[in-house]
Amino acid sequence: MRRRWQSAAALVLGRSRKRSGGATETDTSSAAVPTSKDEDVEPIPTMEVEERGDSFWSRMPVHADRVLPHIFIGNYSSGANRQFLAENNITYILNMTMEKHTNRFEGITYLNLGLDDHAGADISIFFKQAHDYLTTVRLEGAVALVHCHMGISRATTITMSHMLLGGKIYDDIDEHQENAKKFASRRAVDDKALRAAQVAPLTEQIALADVWKLVSSRRKCASPNDGFFRHLELLEMRLTNRNSPTVKRSNMWGSKFMQGR
C-alpha cells in the first residue's frame, strides 16, 4: 500500500514540476521550525481557489477517515474543502505540512506544526504541543482534522502520539457529544479553569500495538515512516518503563496486527 501511494505521489509531483514556472513559496508558520520550499503550480479558476485553496495538494480529492470521535485523519485537500469541514462539524485543524492553507475559514482554529516527511525528522518535538491541542478539542466535545499532504505518515504519527499520551481515550461518539453539550452550557466559566477541572488523571496506559491496530483499521493507508514510528516506540517505552515496545515498525505489518483491517 505504501509503495503504491509513494509511486502515485511521485508521478503527480513529477507532472506538477513540469507545469511549474519554478517559483517558490516558504511557510514560516513557526520560527522554531526549519522552513521548506514548495513549488507553485499553474493558476486555477477563482471558484476552485475559494473552495479548495491554490496549492497543488489542495487539488487532490478529499480523503479523510474518522479514527476517534474527536479526530479525523486526512489529506491536505480535506482541510481546504469548506463543505467537508462543515458536514463533519470540524472546527479545529492541525496541519503537519510546511505550507499554510490559502483559506483560513471563519470558525476554524488552526495549529500549524510544519515538518518534512522523512525518517530523519524529529517529529517528537511536537508530541506534547499536539497532545495539548487535541485534548482541548476532546474536552470541548469538538472535532479536529489532523492532516499532512496525504494523511499517511505525519498526521497518523501525531494522532498516535496523542493516544499514547492520553491513555485510554474513550471511543464513544455519544459520550463525546455529551461532552459538547456540557461544555456549551458552561461557557460562562473561565475556559482555562473549565479545562483544568475536566482533565482526568491518566489511569491506564494504552499499548502502542493497540493504538496501531485501531488507527490502521480505520485509516487503511496509515503508515508512519521508519523514523516516526521509532519515536512512537520510544514514547511508549518512556511512558511504560518498558525495555521494548509492544510492536515494532519492522513487524507491524505481521498477521497479528493486520487482523480486523
End-to-end CA distance of the chain: 13
Per the document, the length of the chain is 261
Q: pLDDT at residue 27 above 90?
A: no
Sheet holding 144-147, edge to edge: 64-68, 71-74, 144-147, 92-95, 109-112
pLDDT of residue 99: 85
Indicate the pLDDT class of residue 37, thresholds 50, 70 and 90: very low
Q: Which has more confidence, 201 or 146?
A: 146
* C-beta of residue 154 within 8 angstroms of C-beta of residue 79: no
How many CB atoms neighbour CB 255 within 10 A?
A: 7
pTM listed for this prediction: 0.71
What's the fold here for domain 22-201? Protein-Tyrosine Phosphatase; Chain A (3.90.190)
Q: pLDDT at residue 155 above 60?
A: yes
pLDDT of residue 181: 78
What average pLDDT score do residues 207-231 get? Answer: 95
pLDDT of residue 178: 79
Lowest-confidence pick of 112-126, 156-170, 186-200, 201-215: 186-200
pLDDT of residue 20: 37
What average pLDDT score do residues 200-218 get? Answer: 83
Q: Which has more confidence, 205 or 173?
A: 205
Each domain of the chain, given as residue ranges in start order, spans 22-201
| pLDDT digit string, tens, across residues 101-121 | 766 899 999 999 999 999 999
